[in-house]
Amino acid sequence: MTPTTASAPVPLGGPRFQTEPAELYREMRRDHGSVVPVVLDGDIPAWLVLGYRELHQVTGDPQLFSRDSDLWSQWDRIPDDWPLLPMIGRKQPSILYTVGERHRERAAMISDALEAVDPFELRSQAEKFADELIDAVCPKGETDLIGDYAALLPVRVLATLYGFADEQGPGLVTALNDMINGREGALAGQQHLAGSMAKLIADRKESPANDVVSRMLANTAGFTEEEIVQDLMVMMAAGHQPTADWIGNSLRLMLTDERFAASLFGGRHSVAEAMNEVLWEDTPTQNVAGRWASRDTQLGGRRVRSGDLLLLGLQGANSDPQVRTDSSALTGGNNAHFSFGHGEHRCPFPAQEVAEVIARTGIEVVLDRLPDIDLTVPAESLARRPSPWLRGLSELPVRFTPVPVL
């Protein structure tokens, strides 16, 4: 297809990203091709890469499509209070904006710190916190599985792995959600998270423990405290909200699609299938910022200029008809989706494993503890949070037989 170059750029926002993203991405692809001109808050231009092959090219060529945000040609138009700065920030000393050999060293530090997490202890912690959250709602006979459960579970587990005190979890949840949603509380959320990380690092320098932060501080590659603070912020943001949305989106699928009804009565194979289908069809991370062109180039029939920002359209690429020719749902073991990224800046494999254990444990505890669970509202009325970046439910209201906690 030859894109229509005269077509107006698409605003990256609005309710259709929540209500009908699949149709919206189809329209974008029809009108613009695999690389779509978009505008961000403040009429800032960018490209949204929706093609599977084009996204593979962008994420697989870190020289041409760099993570170095200093390359951006739009910095002179970006105000200090731009709400998307936490998502598309000026170059920071974090792994997100580090390139080359130093990036590989930092990725290894994070992977090593997470790989040392005992998988049995991780599952045990996830079960413990999940059971506590379910205990709080069991006698009521109804709950919101997002606000009362999924939005609280990952950060509580991650906080324990990293070394945070348990009572810090609720404040971290609020800060992370504000930062990721890219609205008026985004910068304050970012500041709260940074302050919490800095204090944790100071505590662990004085009193090392068997946790992720202590292992990162013990790394001998010469990383500064500020670098570790920034990396922890990335790890917490990337590990919490997408995992919470993975839980919520998977439970929504299992409660609304008869193909997964068996899992509500103890089946386990369907849980894994539902989780994998969500990564293809309803991935928590829809769009990611970003990459910057290091020189003029061509991509998907578009003339991309040096310094242009390219946004990674993960959900759009996952549903690209060029690779999904029969448009059937993928519930098997096919994991060639982009939901964890691709290339040297993809989500580290140990982090993927941590997220999967937390999400699967969270789903299984719900099904074990609340076996007759059902929605209290029509499935079509379930609403999504107002974000073009992450796709998750605002609420998932359910009912069940009240169970007293002994």
Domain ranges of the chain: 10-399
CB neighbours (10 Å) of residue 84? 18
How far apart are alpha carbons 78 and 76 in whole angstroms? 6
The pLDDT, as a whole number, for residue 208 is 93
SS3 content of the chain, % helix, strand, coil (to 5): 55, 10, 35
pTM over 0.85: yes
250 touches 274 (CB < 8 A): yes
- CA–CA distance, 66 with 395 (Å, rounded to integer): 37
The SS3 call for residue 166 is helix
Listed in sequence order, the residues at least 6 apart from 2 whose beta carbon sits closer than 8 Å to its beta carbon are 33, 301
The C-alpha atoms of residue 243 and residue 392 are separated, in whole angstroms, by: 10
Which residues in the chain show pLDDT less than 50?
A: 1-5
How many CA within 13 A on the CB side of residue 380?
A: 0
pLDDT tens digit sequence for 65-120: 999 889 999 999 999 888 888 778 776 667 777 778 888 888 888 999 999 999 99
- Contact assessment for residue 302 and residue 46, using Cβ atoms and an 8 Å cutoff: no
Report the pLDDT value the prediction gives residue 6, as an integer from 0 to 100. Answer: 52
pLDDT given at position 2 = 42
Q: Which of the 8 DSSP states describes residue 384? A: B
143 forms beta bridges with 398
- Distance, CA of 316 to CA of 53 (rounded, Å): 11
pLDDT for position 342: 85
Cβ contact 366:134 at 8 Å: yes
Give the fold, CATH level 3, of 10-399.
Cytochrome p450 (1.10.630)
Give me the phi and psi of 311, to 5 degrees please: -95, 140
Determine contact, residues 308/285, Cβ cutoff 8 Å.
no
Give the pLDDT confidence score for residue 221 in this predicted structure: 76
Burial 144-173 (b: 16+ CB within 10 A, else e): bbbebbbbbbbbbbbbbbbbbeeeebeebb
